[in-house]
Amino acid sequence: MIQIFSRLNKPHPAPSETLARLLVHKINFNSCTFLLCLGIILAIGLPSPLVAADNPSLFFSWPIDCIPGMNCAGRHFRIGYPDLTGTGRSFSCGQPGYTGHQGTDIIVSSIEQDVTVLAAAEGVVRWTRDGLFDRCPDANRECAAELTTHLPVEGKQAATLGFNAGNFIVVEHNFGLSRYLTLYAHLRSGSQLVKTGDHIARGTRIGKVGSSGNSMIPHLHFGVFRSVSGYFQPVDPWNGPCNSSSSGLWDSDPPYQPLIDKILFQKDSTVEDNSQLP
């Protein structure tokens, strides 16, 4: 159950009134317990307002430049699906990444694969952090599970993601009247190509997959949040019978469908037979 953690409602001079609300959700991953809370600024009269999408039904594109198991190099890959209800079931009623998982984990074999992270839709970069150690797990303090990632609000560390996201980017999107955030977490140190305030296009290269923060293996944690009555809530972008939060938010199904023809007809020595892997 999502609870209200805190509310920041200090008024600003007209016409820019800013409200920040924090969401809290508690999840378990193996023997570890995480607190997921998302601090969001909802601003009226932003200096660079987002432009509504021409087609409101066009949502998110695949957020990396390869497909695990098809054309990502290496033999270690997996997609960990969300489980927003905490019932142990993914969108397809199968196994999620783990019970209570709040995002999609796209796991790759190594940082050395140099997998590029792509903006899933047009939007404005709202928060970033870079420069943290990116070879976790490790004894390095920056890998510690008990650390939490903070988001600056009005110049203060007043909001938090509630878990150690390592190097990350948060982008805000508008689809018609709907407002979303996407989170790209555990990025490679020094790889970020965007900064706060940048207005970016769908498919913009924004960084590289890494293993920073509380991460056990190189992967991209891709989170989607939708504004509902002023509060941003986690939403599952995968279409299936056990997804009660949406009817699917990818711009194609599966989200990497536009890449399949290219992959099928190219000769790529990095593609390996992973059919025997779990």
pLDDT of 195: 97
Q: Retrieve residue 215's tokens.
A: 């991460």
- Kind and range of the H or E run holding 264: helix 257-264
pLDDT of 128: 96
Task: Give tens-digit pLDDT for 131-182.
Answer: 999 999 999 999 999 999 988 777 665 667 778 999 999 999 998 888 999 9
Mean residue pLDDT of the chain comes to 75
pTM, two decimals, is 0.75
Measured CA to CA in angstroms, residue 199 lies from 31, 58, 126, 229 at distances of 40, 18, 10, 25
Cα atoms in the Cβ-side hemisphere of radius 13 Å centred on 220? 28
Contact status, residue 237 vs residue 60, Cβ threshold 8 Å: yes
Task: Give tens-digit pLDDT for 78-133.
Answer: 899 999 999 999 999 999 988 988 899 999 988 988 999 999 999 999 999 999 99
Residue boundaries of the structural domains of the chain: 51-264
Q: In angstroms, how far is CA 208 from the centroid of its own chain?
A: 13
pLDDT of 252: 83
| pLDDT band for position 49 (cuts 50, 70, 90) | very low
Within 10 angstroms of residue 249's Cβ, the number of other Cβ atoms is 23
pLDDT of 258: 58
Annotation: CATH topology of 51-264 = Glucose Permease (Domain IIA) (2.70.70)
Least confident residue range of 20-24, 186-190, 212-216:
20-24
